[in-house]
Amino acid sequence: MRSDEVSISLYKRIKESEAKYHLDGTHFFLPESAIEDNITEKNIKAELGLGFWGKVKQVVSKGDLPTTVLRDAKKAFTILVYINESKSIKGLLDEGIKDSDLPLRREAENSGVLLSHDKSKRFKSLQTMNDSVVDSFLEKQWIVMAPTFDSTRNHLDIPSLCPLPFSNIEALTGSHSSVLYKGEIHYSHYRGGKGGNNNITIAIKRFLREKLFNQELKNLRILQELDHPYLIRHIATYTQEKSYCIISPFAEGGDLVNMWKSLDHIVRDDKLMLSSIEQMKHIAEALKALHEVNCRHGDLKPENIFHFTDDGDGKLVIADVGVSRTHREATEMRAAGTSTRATTRSYEAPETLSKEDEARSRKYDIWSLGCILYEYTLWLSHDYEAIESLSRARKAPHHEFYLLMKPTPVIEPIVLAAFTALREDPRCKNGTALEALMKLIQDKLLQIQVDDRCTAAELVEHLQMILDDIKSKRIPALNDVTLPPQKLRFVRADHFEIIEE
């Protein structure tokens, strides 16, 4: 029990500043900001009773005690405040303790001598204390040890007892190989952002197997070297016991599907057409960057394209690079509500099943991106339900954009019919950007033969040409019609038909 009212005040202020997070149980950490705010010269003097009469007690081997604490040992002092042994700071400072020496450990079992974490320093001053007090120090030290993340995107090996500076953790989705959480990093534990006192919203992908995590680390190193604005940039990776985690910025706009749904009400005009083709080009540029370092994505789908809404219309960013090269998801991908959006296989290229024994080329990604841009264009021309109905109309159970036929696969008939319907749309015909986009997707991307598909670099060039033509007014984005056609809906039974609503 503390007898000193000032000590109670400092202890309580620190205690009340603790933050709590739930990940594998309930844990507490003391944020860096709380240490900065509470371990001040005034509070140190008040805690130690260092008034005018006690100035002689302030002197330590390396100078004024409060100054030395503030410079070298705020965390060590905080731990001593927690266990009601703040006056022991003088002995530790005389032995040269610094916060960088934490966490401390016993030199030997039941020894009162403590070692710095790298074993380069010995601290004897606490051995005169009761053994339980030393235990309290060693236990309580972890509350000030939550790591700080920065823009270096380093890998951290975090001790099992060390708390993490996270809050508001919630599980979003999971599979047999990983779990995805949404959470926040405390603002004072992240030094790579815009500053301020707002926590940083993050995504935490937790791998359940070390092998998969190590493969993902290799992919992340490639992305880190590329440092491309339209490829996901992780914040850090860490391991803690059997937790293998990747921390990334959280896309508040969700994925591409979420974007389509949230913007479904927007008027389909030249401005939307222009910004959408810009977004398509950005995705193609990211894929081009990957392919230039001989890396294919392998699992492109709308759910792996994230929508960051920080600036203006936001930007689309490719995520989950290389996932399919390390494992094959056995479960269907996450879907909202009762949506019938297909499994991952929906976006796989036809050579996946027709040539299972052959290595997949980078043009595998081009087919997948062709499927995505096809749906994007369908949304641009109509709405999200048009995408959904086309998915339902393709052959179950995987709803691919092709049919496996002998001797070679063919484009799904309903997909071809939808191409025809789109290109006959009065807004599309006679030399519009929308027509050029549809032609590009059909002629250069969704081609059964791998060699007939364009490269990512060529795709970027084609999209840039369409953008240049719009901006120079050589072609209209789309025709202005008095009465836009009804929304397309697709139905499949033993045959298929197109219904206009």
pLDDT of residue 219: 85
Contact 496, 414 (CB under 8 A): yes
Containing 204, the helix (H) or strand (E) segment is: strand 200-207
β strands within 23-165, DSSP E: 26-29, 59-60, 63-64, 105-106, 114-115, 122-123, 155-157
**Coil vs helix vs strand at 315:** strand
Count Cβ atoms below 10 Å from residue 460 Cβ, excluding itself: 21
Given a cut of 50, whether residue 3 has pLDDT beyond it is: no
CATH number for 256-500 (one of 1.10.730.10, 1.10.3720.10, 1.10.510.10, 3.40.50.800): it is 1.10.510.10
Given a cut of 80, whether residue 4 has pLDDT beyond it is: no
Among 58, 16, 59, 60, residue whose Cα is nearest residue 38: 16
CA separation for the pair 397, 399 (Å, rounded):
6
pTM: 0.83
CA-angle at 170, arms to 166 and 175, nearest 5°? 115
Q: Which of 43-52, 60-69, 332-341, 395-404 has the lowest mean pLDDT?
A: 332-341
Q: Which residues, in sequence order, are CB contacts of 56 under 8 Å at separation 6+?
A: none
How many CA atoms, within 13 angstroms, populate the side-chain half-sphere of residue 336?
8
Q: How far is CA 389 from CA 260, 261, 288, 305, in A?
A: 14, 14, 31, 21
CA separation for the pair 324, 329 (Å, rounded):
8
Domain chopping of the chain, boundaries: 5-17+30-144, 155-249, 256-500
The DSSP bridge pattern shows strands 19-22 and 26-29 to be antiparallel
Among 319, 328, 343, residue whose Cα is nearest residue 230: 319
Q: How far is CA 310 from CA 24, 180, 276, 307, 316, in A?
A: 31, 22, 17, 9, 11
Given a cut of 80, whether residue 63 has pLDDT beyond it is: no
| 363, two tokens | 């043009």
Q: Which of 67-81, 191-205, 382-396, 413-427 has the lowest mean pLDDT?
A: 191-205
CA separation for the pair 192, 112 (Å, rounded):
40
Given a cut of 60, whether residue 60 has pLDDT beyond it is: no
Given a cut of 80, whether residue 447 has pLDDT beyond it is: yes
The sign of the torsion formed by the CA atoms of 179, 180, 183, 186 equals: positive
Contact 35, 7 (CB under 8 A): no
| 188, two tokens | 């004072």
CA separation for the pair 384, 260 (Å, rounded):
6
pLDDT of residue 329: 32
Q: So what CATH class is 155-249? A: alpha beta
Q: What percent of the chain has pLDDT over 90?
A: 65
CA separation for the pair 76, 98 (Å, rounded):
7
End-to-end CA distance of the chain: 76
The residue-averaged pLDDT of 287-305 equals: 92
Q: What percent of the chain has pLDDT over 70?
A: 87
Given a cut of 80, whether residue 17 has pLDDT beyond it is: yes
Containing 391, the helix (H) or strand (E) segment is: helix 384-393
The sign of the torsion formed by the CA atoms of 275, 232, 150, 249 equals: positive
Q: Which residues, in sequence order, are CB contacts of 127 under 8 Å at separation 6+?
A: 111, 112, 113, 134
pLDDT of residue 452: 97
Structure confidence at residue 206 as a pLDDT band (50, 70, 90): very high
The residue-averaged pLDDT of 173-196 equals: 87
How many CA atoms, within 13 angstroms, populate the side-chain half-sphere of residue 217?
17
Contact 375, 255 (CB under 8 A): no
pLDDT of residue 193: 67
Q: Which of 353-362, 390-399, 476-485 has the lowest mean pLDDT?
A: 353-362
Which is higher by pLDDT, 214 or 23? 214
Q: Can you name the residues that pair with 166 across neighbouring β-strands?
A: 185
Going by the DSSP 8-state scheme, the letter that residue 118 receives in this structure is T
Given a cut of 60, whether residue 198 has pLDDT beyond it is: yes
Sheet holding 122-123, edge to edge: 105-106, 114-115, 122-123
How many CA atoms, within 13 angstroms, populate the side-chain half-sphere of residue 252?
8
CA separation for the pair 258, 339 (Å, rounded):
12
Q: What pLDDT, in 10s, does the model give residues 29-38?
A: 999 999 999 9
Structure confidence at residue 9 as a pLDDT band (50, 70, 90): confident
Identity of the residue numbered 188: S
CA-angle at 395, arms to 389 and 399, nearest 5°? 70
The residue-averaged pLDDT of 342-370 equals: 79
pLDDT of residue 24: 75
The residue-averaged pLDDT of 240-264 equals: 94
